[in-house]
Structure 1
Amino acid sequence: MTTTSTGTPTRPSAAAELIADFVSTGGRLSDRADLAQFLRQHRLVTEGAIPITLADLDEAITLRDGMRSLLDRGTAPDPEVLGRAQKVLDGLRVTVRLEPAEQAESPLAPAVVDEVRRGLARIAGAWAAVLATGEWRRLRL
C-alpha cells in the first residue's frame, strides 16, 4: 500500500500489483514451468497447455530485468539491460481498447495470438498504465 501526498493510504492499481509481482519473481522465474505458472496465476493466458520456448522464457526474463533496473532506486539503470528489454517491448503488439473491460489493468490489449506473447503483451500494457499514471515511481522492489 502507498500513501498520497496528504498521507492517505491508497491501494496500488491492478496494473501496479501485476508489475510488482512480475519484477519480484527473481529466482522463481528460472524455467518454462515457472513462467507458465506465473502467467496462469495472473490470468494472463487461457487455461490449458502453453507451449513455452526457451526464447519465450528469455524474453520474459529480459523484460523483467529491464523493469527491475528502472525500479531499483539503489543503482542507476543499466543501459544495456534497458535496451534489451526495450527490444522485447518493441516486438510485442498491443492495441488500444475502444471500451476497456471492467477488470482490465490497462486500456491496451494484446494484438498477438501466441499465448505466451499475449501474456507478455498484457504485462507490457500494465507497464504502460503505471508509466502513464506515474505509479511506477511508487513501486518498490
Structure 2
Amino acid sequence: MTTPIEQSAAAALVRAFVATGDSLGDRADLARFLREHRLATDGAIPITLADFDEAIALRDGMRAFLRRAAGQPGDPEALARGQRVLDGLRVTVRLEPPEDAAFSVLAPAVVDEVRRGLARLAGAWATVLATGEWRRIGL
C-alpha cells in the first residue's frame, strides 16, 4: 500500500487550471476562475478578448507539457503559444514573501488584474517545475 502524497497549493492551482477544459469557455468563466482561486480581487474584472486568449494559450501550453511528460502527444504549437504568454508576464522575486504566499516566492509585477492572475499562475508553474511536483499532476 502506498501513502498518498498531498499536493502543494501550487500544484493544486496548476491542476485546476489545466483541467478547466470546456468550463473555461468565455471571459466570464475566466473571471470566475480567477476569483475562485483568489488570483484576482472580488468585483468587476475587465477582461479583454486578448486577455482571454492569453489565458487559454497558457492553459493549453501547460497541458501540452504535462501530456508530453506523461508520454502522450503534446502539441508543440500549444507549447510555443504558452511560452510566449509566459515570456510576456512580469514577475518579481520577493526577499521576504508574505505569509499568505501559498504558491511561490514569485509575485506579480503588473497592475492589470487579469495579467496579475496569470502571473500568479506562472509563479505556481515555476514552483511545480522547480520542485518536480509537475510529475504528479495528473490530467
- Aligned partner of 1:53 in structure 2 is 48
2:108–2:116 CA contact under 8 A, matched in 1: yes
Runs of 4+ in structure 1 deviating by more than 3 angstroms, as ranges, are none
- Aligned partner of 1:84 in structure 2 is 81
- Corresponding position: 1:133 with 2:131: yes
2:31–2:47 CA contact under 8 A, matched in 1: yes
User: Cα distance, 1:74 vs. partner?
Assistant: 4.7
1:16-60 per-residue CA deviation (whole Å, 9 max, x = no partner) reads 000000000000111000000000000101111100000000000
Structure 1 residues without counterparts, runs of 5 or longer: 1-5
Q: Distance in 2 between matches of 1:31 and 1:80?
A: 21
Give the 3-state SS of the residue equivalent to 1:9 in structure 2.
coil
More deviation in 78-87 or 116-125?
78-87
Question: What is the identity, as a one-letter code, of the residue corresponding to 2:104?
Answer: S
Alignment coverage as a number of residue pairs = 136
TM-score (norm: length of structure 2): 0.94
Q: Distance in 1 between matches of 2:24 and 2:117?
A: 14
2:64–2:76 CA contact under 8 A, matched in 1: no
Q: Distance in 2 between matches of 1:41 and 1:98?
A: 27
Question: What is the identity, as a one-letter code, of the residue corresponding to 1:66?
Answer: G
Give the 3-state SS of the residue equivalent to 1:35 in structure 2.
helix
- Aligned partner of 1:103 in structure 2 is 100
Structure 2 residues without counterparts, runs of 5 or longer: none
Q: Distance in 2 between matches of 1:85 and 1:107?
A: 21
2:62 pairs with one of 42, 62, 67: 67
1:31 pairs with one of 26, 29, 33: 26
More deviation in 48-57 or 99-108?
99-108
- Aligned partner of 1:3 in structure 2 is none
CA RMSD of aligned residues (A): 1.3
Identity %: 72
- Aligned partner of 2:7 in structure 1 is 12
